[in-house]
A and B are shown apart, each in its own frame.
Chain A
Amino acid sequence: MVSFADLRDIDPYVFRQGESAWFDMYNTIKERGYDVRRAVDKLEAWTGAAADAGKATFREHEQRFLAGADALHAAYLLLRQAGDRIGAAHARIAEGAAEVGYWSLTVAADGTITDHHSRTRYGDEAAQIRDVIAKYQPVFHAAMAEANQADAEIAAALRNLTAEAVGLAAPGGDATTTAAATAIPPRGTAPTDVKKWWDSLSPMQQESLLFTRAAELGALDGVPALARDRANRLRLTEEKSELLADQQRLLAKHRTHDEELWLKQVTDKLHGIDDIEKRLNFMAPAEAFLLAVDGQGNGRAIIASGNPDTATNVATYIPGTGANLANVGGDINRSDLMLQAAANAGSPSTAVITWVGYEAPQNVVPEAAEEQFADGAKKNLDRFQDGLRATHEGAPSHNTVLGHSYGSTVIGHAARDEGLNADELVFVGSPGVGVGNAGGLNFPTDHIYATVADHDIIHMSNIEDPHDVHGPDPAGTQFGAHVFASAPGTAGPWYTGGYSGAAHSQYWGTTNPALENMGKIIAGQVPDAH
């Protein structure tokens, strides 16, 4: 039942928005039906019984798409009707709603106007109120009746247009539906078990799951990169669509301060998605694979430059403070630079994965000084590394886990508490990795590397202090890691001791020896010592 407040407060634009979405979908599905028709038409020379059966199968697909498009068109017409009828009812009450508001009259859900202050109104005012009620009461009742009638009629008509109602839903027991209903292992399942489960599925089950449960499958460590990529590309389209709908809705209204911030966040995330799409559509320096994407919170994304299931050398790069979906483009660029550096160092095939698979701190103070973000990330990173091992084809790859800034803290916590399944650990511009020395990392110390630029402002967080939660600089002489060379970076002003924020982000400069050294470590070689 539509209440007076519902009708008064509705923005009729919402129906136009729905109408347009359904119309677009109708056009698209109709076009796909024609696409199938065109593809089958090209098989004119294919004749005989098998050809007849094959063509009939694909003609049925064509017909189902076209019949579906008809139903979508009917739904579009109904939403258009909703916009017209409810929009008209909304317009009818607009003037009266303002008037009764002015006189502090109450309007019940059914549109009945009541004056709760009648005992205190006298003379002209009382007469004016009586006139207002007499004028608008019939208008309100008529508008409410029309709105409710339209709502009920259109709702019923829409329910008669579901795929089930028009007979286009897959019947129970249908092979594709049954395959799609296959239980998917929960997120925390060991990746080796996930891989066994995936391998046990028939190609049809795998295909059906990819098509119908992309979100679950795309996030599952242990599913091969090719399949995850396909699932997550669909997820990316969904995330983008939801963010665009949010953006349009926010742009169309008068926004509060909080809504302004929300709009900015949505717009920034859309930029991040654009950057991912650009990288996915570009084959250089290697084909990209989308291993995860999620728009919730600050947003997460895992993108591999190169196929981690087939590459000889696989690196996972974990960015630090400020990492999120919106900023992922810059981190992908760093991964591409490291991939190129590894190739220059002689790696026969490489994949470098940008891993924004955690909720990173978004500011230096206070968040980057806290351990909670690293603790929240460690199991995810550990499982992801196990997943890389589980899905790799042929001989095991040489795996490196490399963290910048707070990303190195994430690696430290994961290695210390979970035991990372990798061959090399690399800490770049680190605020500390949660242990006092390399021996605390539960990892062969010969394979732990670190670097810090002379002018990196991170030095300011690495003062000798027993209360420093992140522990000492892993590039310090006492820590016990192999320290490799990097350029000093841009010097800061005297009052910062010569340290600068710029130097903290210059490790991936193409002339910085740090980049060449990271490439060497990824390629399984020894970097130049500092």
Chain B
Amino acid sequence: MDGFTVKPEVLQTAAVELCGIAEQVLRDAAVFSGVQDAMNDQAPGFDLMRAAAECESSWQQAIQTQAAKLAVDGDTLDLNAARYLATEVSNTHALGGR
């Protein structure tokens, strides 16, 4: 049967870790945010600076979206692990009561 050799707590720990990575990605992206805008002010005549700002903005959004997806998938793993844990506990009680 699926997952029989892994403890639900291990899945939950991994889920929390993955959600933590997602949050960290977002903080990383925030540090990056606006650096290019600040530089554009100093080199207004250069198209490459506008292109770099477009590129930055596009990656900012892509990274944020990717982080959100990771967090949602991490949450899903956590929820499934919690269900798995509840089943284990319930089975233990049921079987232990026999």
- Asked if A283 CB lies within 8 Å of chain B CBs, one says no
Chain B residues 14 to 36 lying within 8 A of chain A, measured CB to CB, are 14, 17-18, 21-36
Q: Are B6 and A46 in contact (CB under 8 A)?
A: yes
What residues of chain B lie closer than 8 Å to A39, measured between beta carbons? Answer: 14, 17-18, 21
Task: Tell me whether chain B's interface is mostly helix, strand or loop, or mixed.
Answer: helix
CA distance A5 to B13 in the complex (A): 58
Size range of the chain A interface in the assembly: 35 or more
Which of B5, B27, B35 is in CB contact (< 8 Å) with A21?
B35
Instruction: Say yes or no: is A72 at the interface (Cβ < 8 Å to chain B).
Output: yes
Q: How far in angstroms is the closest Cβ of chain B from A247?
A: 10
Residue B95, interface by CB 8 Å: no
Residue of A nearest to B62 (CB): A163
Asked if B62 and A35 sit within 8 Å, CB to CB, the answer is no
**Is A208 close to B, CB under 8 A?**
yes
Instruction: Provide the bound-state CA to CA distance between A450 and B61, in Å.
Output: 50
Residues of B within 8 A of A164 (CB): 58
CA distance A56 to B47 in the complex (A): 40
Partner of B69 from A2, A176, A238 at Cβ < 8 Å: A176
Contact A61 B69 (CB under 8 A): yes
With the chains together, A164 CA to B61 CA distance in Å? 10
Contact A241 B31 (CB under 8 A): yes
**Which residues of chain B are near A25, meaning CB under 8 Å?**
28-29, 32, 59
In the bound complex, CA of A215 to CA of B15 (Å): 26
Which one of A3, A64, A79, A158 has the greatest number of beta carbons of chain B within 10 Å? A158
User: Smallest distance from the beta carbon of B65 to chain A beta carbons, Å?
Assistant: 5
| A154 x B28 contact (CB < 8 A) | no
- Bound-state Cα–Cα, A75 to B56, Å: 9
Residue A18 is within 8 A (CB to CB) of chain B in the complex: yes
CB of B86 closer than 8 Å to a CB of A: no
Contact B68 A207 (CB under 8 A): yes
B44 touches A46 (CB 8 A): no
Bound complex: CA A155 to CA B51 (Å) = 5
Annotate B68-92 by CB proximity to A: 1 below 8 A, 0 otherwise.
1111110101001000000000000
Q: Which of A265-284 contact B (CB under 8 A)?
A: none
With a cutoff of 8 Å between Cβ atoms, the chain B residues found around residue A72 in the complex are 59
**Among the interface residues B49, B55, B64, which one has the most CB atoms of the partner chain A within 10 A?**
B55
How far apart sit A163 and B58, CA to CA, in the bound complex (Å)? 6
Contact B36 A21 (CB under 8 A): yes
Kindly identify, within residues 35 to 66 of chain A, every residue whose CB is under 8 Å from any CB belonging to chain B: 35-36, 39-40, 42-43, 45-51, 54, 57-58, 61, 64-65
Query: Which of B2, B10, B46 has the most chain A CB atoms closer than 10 A to its own CB?
Result: B46
A68 contacts B6, CB within 8 Å? no
Q: Is A45 in contact with B68, judged by CB distance below 8 angstroms?
A: no
Q: Is the CB of B59 within 8 A of A163?
A: yes
Q: In the docked arrangement, what's the CA distance between A204 and B44, Å? A: 40
Task: For B26, list chain A residues within 8 Å (CB).
Answer: 211, 214, 234
- B32 → chain A, closest Cβ, in Å? 5
Q: Do B55 and A158 have beta carbons less than 8 Å apart?
A: yes
Q: Are B52 and A36 in contact (CB under 8 A)?
A: no
Known A-B contacts A47-B5, A48-B1, A48-B2; the reply to A241 vs B32 at CB < 8 A is yes
- In the complex, the answer to whether A61 meets B70 with C-beta atoms within 8 Å is yes
Q: Are B35 and A18 in contact (CB under 8 A)?
A: yes
Q: Is the CB of B3 within 8 A of A48?
A: yes
Query: Contact: A11 with B75, CB < 8 Å?
Result: no
Closest Cβ–Cβ distance, residue B41 to chain A (whole Å): 8
Partner pick for A249 among B2, B13, B42, B75, CB 8 A cutoff: B42
Residue-wise interface mask of A (55-98) relative to B, using a CB-CB cutoff of 8 A (1 in contact, 0 not):
00110010011001001100100110010001000000000000
**A237 pairs with B30, CB closer than 8 A:** yes
Partner of A161, one of B5, B55, B75: B55
Least Cβ–Cβ distance between B97 and chain A, in angstroms = 28
Known: A39-B21, A207-B71, A237-B31. A158 touches B52 (CB 8 A): yes
- Knowing A45-B6, A48-B1, A170-B65, the reply to whether A158 touches B48 (Cβ < 8 A) is yes
* Contact present for B47 and A151 (CB under 8 Å): yes
Mask: chain A, 166-210; 1 = CB below 8 Å from B; 0 = not: 001110001011001000000000000000000000011001101
Q: Mark A243-269, 1 if CB is under 8 A from B, else 0.
A: 001100100000000000000000000
Chain A residues positioned under 8 Å from B23 (CB to CB): 230
Give chain A's interface residues, CB within 8 Å of chain B: 1-3, 5-6, 10-11, 14, 17-18, 21, 24-25, 28-29, 32, 35-36, 39-40, 42-43, 45-51, 54, 57-58, 61, 64-65, 68, 71-72, 75, 78-79, 82, 86, 150-152, 154-156, 158-159, 161-164, 168-170, 174, 176-177, 180, 203-204, 207-208, 210-212, 214, 230, 233-235, 237-238, 240-242, 245-246, 249
Sampled A-B contacts (26; CB under 8 Å): A2-B45, A2-B47, A10-B42, A17-B39, A32-B25, A36-B70, A39-B21, A45-B10, A46-B3, A46-B6, A46-B10, A61-B66, A68-B59, A78-B48, A168-B62, A168-B66, A169-B58, A169-B62, A170-B66, A203-B75, A204-B72, A207-B68, A212-B64, A238-B33, A238-B34, A249-B38
Given contacts A170-B62, A211-B68, 5 further A-B contacts (CB under 8 A): A6-B44, A25-B28, A152-B47, A159-B54, A237-B30
Can you list the 7 inter-chain pairs with the closest CB atoms, starting with the nearest? Answer: A6-B45, A48-B2, A163-B62, A211-B68, A237-B30, A162-B58, A158-B51
Q: Please list the residues of chain B having a beta carbon within 8 angstroms of any beta carbon in chain A.
A: 1-6, 10-11, 13-14, 17-18, 21-36, 38-39, 42-52, 54-55, 58-59, 61-73, 75, 77, 80
